[in-house]
Each structure stands twice: as structure tokens, then as C-alpha cells.
């Protein structure tokens, strides 16, 4: 039997949301089952998001994060935690992948996730806005081994693991490994909350793996780019006069 894929997406209403969620939903629809898409919003379950999810044809769970955070730096952290709690509580067995709504994903990526046994990572291509050039973030690999990291910005050199949120995936069994988390006092979910911007990924990884030896280069050699992290946002849009649009520009 094929491994279940558990795809976690934090989302919120803004102009490009309908475009992002439809794009991601259409890729997920092409992935052979079993796959569950856990979509998490912040304070309330919005009509805009619910309508898109219903139309995608993907098996999904639409959750809301009870935590009320106004800190923009959190960018989905509490929502991912809500999803982790859900996975843990319901003992969902599969490969967990954090897929932000605005990134671009290939079908090949989702096929590769099924090859992961415990923890897999790969390089993600991004655009460095300031320098207007493409950069890579993620592992340098030799066969199935991770032997180093692509690094870029100065501030980020202090990180232990140079991965993007969309550049790793892991077996959900890690979440209920009592040796690892010494629960109930230190569980991963709470530890993610107070992390400095830019350090969320490495802090999370430092809790789920000890070092590079416990990582699987996905696919072996890491020679392909399977997803792209672009920073495209449309803020403060001006709409055509007299038109009434949903908050996320979806068509109704
Ligand atoms: N996100 C969210 N609420 C926010 C900010 C971000 O739900 O207030 C989600 C967003 O939809 C995306 C993820 O968190 O799925 C990462 O956000 P973003 O792409 O803005 O962060 P960046 O990639 O720029 O760090």
C-alpha cells in the first residue's frame, strides 16, 4: 500500500489567496491517494477558504487555530502547531509535509515524499528579492547522504540546518516518540512558538533529528529542484470602481 501523505498548509484571506489555494489544490488532486490536506486558519474558519476547499476534490480537514496572535512575524507558526496537535491526537500515520500556500510544487515532489522513511530533505529554489537572482536553500548531498548545506544571507549562517519550511518532510511517528519529546513537559509544539524569525525551521529540525546522519537526501543526490519558494504578494490592491469582490479575489 502507498504511504499516506499529510500536507499541512497555513493560510489566510488576502488578494492572492484564491489563486494560491486553487493552484496548490490542483496539484494535490493529481497526487495518487492516500493524501490528506490539513488547511489551518487563524481565528475563524473563513467562508472564502471553505468554498475553495470544497471544490478541489482533495481529501481535506479545515482547522482553526484557537491561539489569537497579532504578531505578523509568527507567519503560520501557530497554525502549523495546530495541525501537528491534530496529527498527534488522531494518530494520523504518514509523511508530514509543510506546504505553504504560496509556493510552487511539482508532482514529482509528492512522489518523492513517499520514498522517505523517517526524515527527508532537499534543496528549494528561491528568488533573493534584493539581488534579483535565484538561490538555493537546503542540503548538499552525496547519494542518499546529506553532507552540507547551501547557505546564503549572512544572518542565516548562525543556523544549524539551512532548510526552507517547504524543504523537508518526516514520518508522523516522530511526533509520538516519547523518548524524543520527554512529554508532557517539553513537547515540540510548544517549543515552536517563541522562535526568532528565520530560525523556525532549524529549531524544529533540531528537535526531530540529531544530525545530518539521520537525514535522507530526497531523492538521492538531491540533483533536482522539486519546488520553488517565491515571494510574490499583492498588497493594497485597488479594485475596479463599483465591483464587489471577495477578500481573496475568488470568483463566485
Ligand atoms: N500565513 C498565515 N497568516 C499570516 C501569515 C502567513 O496563515 O499572517 C501563512 C501563509 O498563507 C503561508 C505561510 O503562512 O502559507 C507562510 O507565509 P509567507 O509565505 O507570508 O511567509 P514567508 O514564506 O514569506 O516567510
137-163 residue pLDDT tens = 999 999 999 999 998 765 566 889 999
Q: Is there a binding annotation on residue 101?
A: no
137-141-146-152 Cα dihedral, nearest 10 degrees: -20
Residues 93, 195: contact at Cβ < 8 Å? no
Assess contact for 119 and 215: CB atoms under 8 A.
yes
Looking at every residue in the chain, the average pLDDT score rounds to: 86
N residues, the chain = 252
Tens-place pLDDT, residues 33-53: 999 999 999 989 999 999 999
The pLDDT value recorded for residue 74 is 67
Whether residue 180 has its Cβ less than 6 Å from ligand 1: no
Instruction: Tell me the Ramachandran region of residue 183: left when phi exceeds 0, alpha when psi lies from -120 to 50, beta otherwise.
Output: beta
Is 147 in contact with 212 (CB distance < 8 Å)? Answer: yes
Q: How many angstroms separate the most distant Cα atoms in the chain?
A: 60
The alpha carbon of 231 and the centre of ligand 1 are apart by a number of angstroms equal to: 10
Confidence band of 3 (pLDDT split at 50, 70, 90) = very high
Supply φ then ψ for residue 236, to 5 degrees: 45, 55
The average pLDDT across 204-229 equals 93
The answer to whether 29 and 117 are in contact (CB under 8 A) is no
Q: Which residue has the higher pLDDT, 169 or 202?
A: 169
Catalytic residue set: 201
pLDDT at 192 over 70: no
> Which cell is 67 given?
491561539
> Does residue 185 carry a pLDDT above 50?
no
Over 90: is that where the pLDDT of 250 sits?
Answer: no
Residue 183 has pLDDT above 50, yes or no: no
The pLDDT value given to residue 247: 73
Q: Rounded to an integer, what distance in angstroms lies between the CA atom of residue 99 and that of residue 92?
A: 17
Q: Predicted confidence band at 189 (pLDDT cuts at 50, 70, 90)?
A: low
Q: What is the mean pLDDT of residues 108-130?
A: 91
Who has greater pLDDT, 200 or 73?
Answer: 200
The ipTM value here is 0.97
Whether the pLDDT of residue 63 is over 80: the answer is: yes
Looking only at the bridges linking them, the beta strands covering 95-98 and 5-10 are parallel
Q: What percentage of the chain reaches a pLDDT higher than 90?
A: 60
Tell me what pLDDT residue 204 has. Answer: 87
Task: Give the position of cell 519550511.
Answer: 165
Residue 85 is classified by DSSP as H
C-beta atoms surrounding 101 within 10 Å = 21
Is the minimum distance from the CB of 166 to ligand 1 under 6 angstroms? no
Task: Tell me the C-alpha distance between 52 and 146, whole Å.
Answer: 38
Residue with cell 537525514: 215
Q: Crossing angle for the helix pair 47-56 and 17-30, nearest 10 degrees?
A: 20
Question: Residues 150-159, buried b or exposed e (16+ Cβ, 10 A)?
Answer: eeeeeeeeeb
Of residues 85, 87, 25, the one with CA closest to residue 57? 25
Confidence category of residue 186, pLDDT binned at 50, 70, 90: very low
Give, using CA atoms, the residue closest to atom 8 of ligand 1: 75
> Does any ligand 1 atom lie closer than 6 A to the CB of residue 122?
no
Interval between CA 32 and ligand 1 midpoint (Å): 27
pLDDT given at position 178: 66
- Name the nearest CA neighbour of 228 among 130, 115, 134, 119: 134
Amino acid at each position: 500500500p502507498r504511504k499516506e501523505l499529510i500536507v499541512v498548509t497555513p493560510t489566510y484571506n488576502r488578494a492572492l489567496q484564491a489563486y494560491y489555494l486553487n493552484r496548490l489544490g490542483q496539484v494535490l488532486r493529481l497526487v495518487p491517494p492516500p493524501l490528506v490536506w490539513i488547511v489551518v486558519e487563524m481565528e475563524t474558519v473563513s467562508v472564502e477558504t471553505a468554498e475553495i476547499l470544497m471544490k478541489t476534490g482533495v481529501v481535506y480537514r479545515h482547522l482553526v487555530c484557537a491561539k489569537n496572535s497579532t504578531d505578523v512575524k509568527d507567519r503560520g507558526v501557530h497554525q502549523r502547531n495546530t495541525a501537528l496537535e491534530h496529527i498527534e491526537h488522531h494518530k494520523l500515520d504518514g509523511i508530514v509535509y509543510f506546504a505553504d500556500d504560496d509556493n510552487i510544487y511539482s508532482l514529482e515532489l509528492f512522489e518523492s515524499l513517499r520514498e522517505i522513511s523517517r526524515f527527508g530533505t532537499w534543496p528549494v529554489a528561491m528568488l533573493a528579492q534584493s539581488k534579483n537572482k535565484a538561490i538555493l536553500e537546503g542540503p548538499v548531498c552525496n547519494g542518499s547522504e546529506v553532507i552540507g548545506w547551501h547557505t546564503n544571507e549572512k544572518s542565516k549562517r548562525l543556523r544549524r540546518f539551512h532548510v526552507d519550511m517547504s524543504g523537508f518532510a518526516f514520518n508522523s511517528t516522530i511526533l509520538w516518540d516519547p523518548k524524543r519529546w520527554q512529554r508532557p513537559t517539553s513537547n515540540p509544539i510548544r517549543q515552536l512558538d517563541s522562535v526568532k524569525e528565520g530560525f523556525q525551521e532549524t529549531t524544529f529540525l533540531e528537535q526531530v533529528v540529531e544530525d545530518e546522519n539521520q537525514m535522507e537526501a530526497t531523492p538521492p543526490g538531491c540533483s533536482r529542484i522539486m519546488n520553488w519558494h517565491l515571494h510574490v504578494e499583492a498588497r493594497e490592491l485597488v479594485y475596479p470602481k463599483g465591483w464587489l469582490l471577495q477578500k481573496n479575489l475568488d470568483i463566485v
